[in-house]
Amino acid sequence: VVDATGISPEEWTLWRAFLRSHARVSREIDLQLQRDAGLAQGEYATISAILESPRRRLRIGEIAEALGWEKSRVSHLIGRMEQRSLVAREACADDARAVEIVVTPEGRRKQLAAVRAHAAEVRRVFLDHVSPDEREVMTRVLRRVIDELGSTGQR
Amino acid sequence: VVDATGISPEEWTLWRAFLRSHARVSREIDLQLQRDAGLAQGEYATISAILESPRRRLRIGEIAEALGWEKSRVSHLIGRMEQRSLVAREACADDARAVEIVVTPEGRRKQLAAVRAHAAEVRRVFLDHVSPDEREVMTRVLRRVIDELGSTGQR
DNA sequence: GAAGATTGAACACTCAATCTTT
DNA sequence: AAAGATTGAGTGTTCAATCTTC
């Protein structure tokens, strides 16, 4: 059964559930991070991405790629985070155009303060509702979605 | 295998894929809607939700619930959409506190202009990568996530 | 007092243009 | 010219306070 758009009701249901679940879950995570560490979700994600990178430093474009965001968004965010002394910009040795972002002790401290409660919250609002089998299916599908879109649309 | 947070690497991978896929997919949808109809994703979703409701009219809180957003966000959005003559506010007969939002002919026209291309885009960036079996699993999981969070967190 | 909704200020994101280095 | 990044203006979102009706 499909309508004039070629999409079945069951498919629309999935699409809506995807959008709505993200909005609701993202909201809960934001509240928890703000409460426990005074960090926005994007700030936490940025710090974590940098700390988990091999050299503990990432360029603007690499952060954008990791998070699926636009470069200008990351650039503004880093600016605000730098004002708050959560990260610092450092010149890149290889390429004078590039900038490497590192996490300051203050940024690391805040991330540490949040990580336990954050993990618990991610579990509570999302992971607790996914069985191991379901997890495998979902990871496979979402990775496929990400990979098909590639790295286009940067700004 | 788990770390100090009690969350396994496989679970983190799913969580990250969820956030990243949403960011990327949402971005593509936004671009298409802006290009084909001059509508933002939230505007399109709002109009569609209203048109699909039984009486073709929805209150602010109902829109917020349907989309998983905060009421104040919807209120501001409706204000901007009203300026652009996409929707109109009408007094609610049952309850003088409430407002019912209806779609104007102009709003309906714009939504119609976008719906085919939008459906094709949703298919291209998301649904095409989900088999029927996978669709059932994902819908079940995401609905569980939504239902567990309930309607809390409205503002 | 609670529910439905709105408001304004502060904060965040997008878009297009720009700058520098490759 | 392309890649990496930044900027400023315009637009959108959040937070807390407020208003009216139930």
Q: According to the model, what pLDDT value does residue A153 have? A: 65
pLDDT value of residue A60: 98
| Interval B6-41: pLDDT, tens | 899 999 999 999 999 999 999 999 999 999 999 999
**What letters, b where the CB count within 10 A reaches 16 and e where it falls short, cover A96-129?**
eeebbbbbbeebbebbeebbeebbbbbbebbbeb
Nearest CB neighbour to A14, from listed B5, B23, B139: B139
Mean pLDDT score, B100-107:
98
pLDDT computed for residue B153 by the predictor: 64
Counting one residue from chain A and one from chain B, the pairs whose CB atoms sit within 8 A come to 171
Is the minimum distance from the CB of A53 to strand D below 7 Å?
no
Which tokens hold the place of B78?
């409706």
**Interchain contact, A126 vs B18, CB within 8 Å:** yes
| Three-state secondary structure call for residue B118 | helix
| Residue B4: per-residue pLDDT | 72
- What is the chain A residue with the closest CA to B112? A5
Checking if the pLDDT of B2 tops 80, the result is no
> A92: Cβ under 7 Å from strand D?
yes
Cβ contact A62 with chain D strand, < 7 A: yes
Question: Smallest Cβ distance to B23: which of A17, A21, A69?
Answer: A69
Whose CA is closest to A10, among B107, B132, B125, B46?
Answer: B132
Q: Phi and psi of B28, rounded to 5°?
A: -65, -40
Of A20, A139, A148, nearest to B67 by CB-CB distance is A20
Q: What angle do CA B81, B32, A1 make, to 5 degrees?
A: 95
Strand D nucleotides, any atom under 7 Å to a protein CB: 3-9, 12-17, 20-22
What average pLDDT score do residues B114-127 get?
Answer: 96
**Are B15 and A122 a contacting pair at CB < 8 A?**
yes
CA–CA dist A131, A129 (Å, integer): 7
Residues B49-95: pLDDT tens digits?
Answer: 999 999 999 999 999 999 999 999 999 999 999 999 999 999 999 99
pLDDT at position A155 is 83
Q: Tell me which DSSP letter residue A126 carries.
A: T
Mean pLDDT by 10 residues, chain A (155 residues): 82 98 97 95 98 98 97 98 98 97 97 95 97 98 95 73
Interface test with A, best of B8, B12, B16, B33 (most A CBs within 10 A): B16
- Does this model's pTM top 0.85? yes
